[in-house]
Structure 1
Amino acid sequence: MSHAVVQDARPATPAPRKGSLSHRALPRWAGVGFAAVSIALAVGIGLAFDLHSKVQWGLIAALLFIAVSYAVTTAVENKRQAKDRVATSLVWVCFILAVIPLASLLWTTISRGTKVLNGYFLSHSMAGVPGFETGGGVYHALIGTLEQVGLATLISAPLGLLTAVYLVEYGKGALAKSVTFFVDVMTGIPSIVAGLFILTLMLMFELQPSGFMGSLALAILMMPVVVRSTEEMLKLVPNELREASLALGVPKWRTIVKVVLPTAIGGITTGVMLAIARIAGETAPIMLLVFGSQLINTNPFEGAQSSLPFYIWEQYRVGSDAAYDRAWAGALVLIAFVMILNLVARGIARWKAPKTGR
């Protein structure tokens, strides 16, 4: 009897108050539902007002998505959660608006570039093929791009890496500030300026156009990207690792080679790949220094060469349907080239990354 009285004497659990942590919540799929409702309403509004532009439909759907998210969340949960959902909705809307042009460009390039992209196109040049006729290929331009970008990487990657190591590990005083200043200035230099600089040297020393001349201009464009990305990756290496190595009596140069660089190798490789992607699509230096060629030239140190960007511009300038198809196919090859480089870089970074044990 006394036990029952004790149970009856316990205070009743108060009902959840408005604004407390115990309140109704929307399901996880609410955002998908809001998006579906917004798209349906936007389509209805577009048809009702005879809006022909799909861009207008998309903007209306984005605004409705934000408004519906705020209204429903306010009614079901509270205003604080509604503001949080509005912020999340804005992030999603901005993300989609940024991805749509990229996806559209990629789809257009694939759909139009696959018309003539085959083994023949990749293994033949444009030698003896008039620009307004079908046939020909991109082999000579692909060889030129591989050699020119490869030489530029061999020049700029070691110099950029050593410069970044100096700035992070040794750089102090006026010299380091001057190097940092010039690296920042070179980061935004137009490609035509780099081409004109090498062209001036060619005229001074009476040098002939070649793939190597183009590689020098590309190296100028690539070097500041390598320096800046490598510098940031080296700064992310914890100082405790350096201090532990130095405390064991390891020289500083050996600490950099055996501890610092292996720790940051993933980010350094990614930065180099970004720099390669930066120069792979440059056309102006190639036009000035390499001149372009319809023939296959595997010697980058002698004679005119072509490249994928120059090939795309050259075919577009012809203006025929066959040339347009070759231009789109060349653009697709260039995109695939950069994508393969990034995949290889990720594989190397994962392979060379320090192994962590339990």
Structure 2
Amino acid sequence: MHKGVFYGLLAAALFGASTPFAKLLLGHVAPVLLAGILYMGSGLGLLTFYLLRALARRGGNTATAGLTGKDLPWLAGAIAAGGIAGPVMLMFGLMLTPASSASLLLNMEGVLTSILAWFVFKENFDRRIFVGMLLIVAAGLLLSWEQIPAFGVPWGAISIVGACLCWGIDNNLTRKVSASDAVQIAGVKGLVAGSVNLIIALALGAQLPQMSTILASGLVGLGGYGLSLVMFVLALRHLGTARTGAYFSVAPFVGAVISLAMLGEQPGWLFWTAAVLMGGGIWLHLTESHEHEHLHEPMEHAHVHTHDLHHQHGHDFLWDGMEPHVHPHQHRTMRHAHKHYPDIHHRHVHP
């Protein structure tokens, strides 16, 4: 299995598993406050890992490319959209929507991520990927229809789709910094987003729950928002935004299965029809193969790498021969053909 696919599926499993647990926690914590605790748990957990890793590597090869000044605007936008607005909208949506249907509605994140990647950020796609996304959209519409009450507007479904749009923006902005340290990116997002949401919640009069609930929420956040985001950033680095979003579409199925088993929900036929449509869309993405002759333009950047086909360069420093390693390096012009994804080295134009 391609390592980017593995990272994407692991990110999906971690996030999908967190949704039904967040639904349970909403019975004890206000939505905005819960969003803050989830992200703060993510940030503190990853900060601890980051510091322990730095101590372990002191004096050695860090094998990580830290954030730079030019990364900060992209990361700030990602935090505002995906770390602050998105989680709050999801928490409100979960209050009004069964966890199983909410889990499948979260598939819209992959769709909206891909639409933004294709039409705003100009990432390539083909007919197979497009048809897969149409199936996922159809499934999302079915689930939204199931949530329409006897009168009024399905605000729960709308709120969850709004959260997915926020995360779609977040994912495309995060791709811009995906060559940097994934733990650092996810940790900063968790600490900033968690702090802002906690301040907002407390200003609105929310009361902190019992310490046991705070700890449980923090652990859910570390897995579903922290470790999941680390894996997602790594997948972005290797697959590009739209493909990562497609693999991440597995997440709602994980959440739905846990919801059905843990919460005893009894979904109707629309739920199962939507599940079949979403499964077909995901299968089209998983079985995609992209190969053609392409040109690598000269570029310079820094990231963790080994001296593979795309990294045949010299060093302007004394190299000890250890790999992988990190340093600024240049890529020369190269034309060749092989199977590839739109990763950090294959962001070329398609005729």
The answer to which structure has the higher strand fraction is 2
> Which protein has the larger Cα radius of gyration, Structure 1 or Structure 2?
1
Q: Which one has a larger percent helix, Structure 1 or Structure 2?
A: 1
Quick check: TM above 0.5? Answer: no
**TM class by shorter-chain length?**
under 0.3
* TM-score between the two structures when normalised by the length of structure 1: 0.25
Q: Which has the higher contact order (CA 8 A, sep 6+)?
A: 2
